Amino acid sequence: MTRWARVLVGLALVWGALGVLGYRLGWEIHARQGQSTLLGSARTVVHQTAQCSGTPITPSRDGVLAGVLSIPSLGVTAPVESGTADGVLNVAVGHFDGTPWPGSPGTAVMLAHDVSYFARIDHLRPGDRIQYQSGCLSETFRVVGHQIVRDGAPLPPVAGSAMVLDTCWPTDALWYTPDRYVVEAVESGIGVGSPGTPPVPTASFPTNFTTLAPAGLQATGLSLVDNEEPMGTMAIGGTPSARWSQSPAPLALESAALAAYFGAYHAASRENGPWWSAVAPGVPMPAALIGATPVLSQAAPLDIAIAAAGDRATGITLGTVLPLFGGSAPGTYRMTVTEAVHGTTVVITSWEVNHD
pTM above 0.85, yes or no: no
β-strand pairing of 107-111 with 93-95: antiparallel
Under 8 Å between Cβ of 333 and 322: yes
**Side-chain-facing half-sphere of 211: CA atoms under 13 Å:** 29
Give pLDDT tens digits for 195-212. 444 444 444 577 789 999
Residue 23's pLDDT is what? 33
Give pLDDT tens digits for 220-264. 999 988 998 999 999 999 999 988 888 888 988 999 999 999 999
The answer to whether residue 53 sits within a structural domain is yes
Domain match, 251 and 308 both? yes
The answer to whether residue 201 sits within a structural domain is no
Domain match, 183 and 326 both? no
Residue 52's pLDDT is what? 57
Domain match, 120 and 160 both? yes
Residue 88's pLDDT is what? 84
Residue 87's pLDDT is what? 78
Under 8 Å between Cβ of 111 and 13: no
Residue 115's pLDDT is what? 82
The answer to whether residue 198 sits within a structural domain is no
What letters, b where the CB count within 10 A reaches 16 and e where it falls short, cover 245-275? Answer: bbbbbbbbbbbbbbbbbbbbbbbbbeebeeb
Domain match, 336 and 228 both? yes
Domain match, 188 and 221 both? no
CATH label of the domain that carries residue 234:
3.10.450
Rounded CA separation 157/315 (Å):
43
Residue 243's pLDDT is what? 84
The answer to whether residue 263 sits within a structural domain is yes
Residue 40's pLDDT is what? 52
Residue 44's pLDDT is what? 52
Question: Which stretches within 30-168 are classed as H helix?
Answer: 35-47, 86-89
Residue 321's pLDDT is what? 97
* Number of domains observed in the structure of the chain: 2
Residue 34's pLDDT is what? 41
Rounded CA separation 152/160 (Å):
23
Residue 131's pLDDT is what? 93
The answer to whether residue 83 sits within a structural domain is yes
Domain match, 255 and 342 both? yes
CATH label of the domain that carries residue 97:
2.40.260.10
Pick out the chain residues at pLDDT < 70: 1-56, 156, 193-204
The answer to whether residue 204 sits within a structural domain is no
Residue 299's pLDDT is what? 95
Domain match, 229 and 91 both? no
Domain match, 181 and 234 both? no
The answer to whether residue 199 sits within a structural domain is no
Domain match, 271 and 166 both? no
Domain match, 58 and 168 both? yes
Rounded CA separation 327/273 (Å):
15
The answer to whether residue 84 sits within a structural domain is yes
Residue 290's pLDDT is what? 97
Domain match, 267 and 328 both? yes
Range of the structural domain that residue 225 is part of: 215-355
Domain match, 220 and 183 both? no
For residue 173, give the DSSP letter.
Answer: B
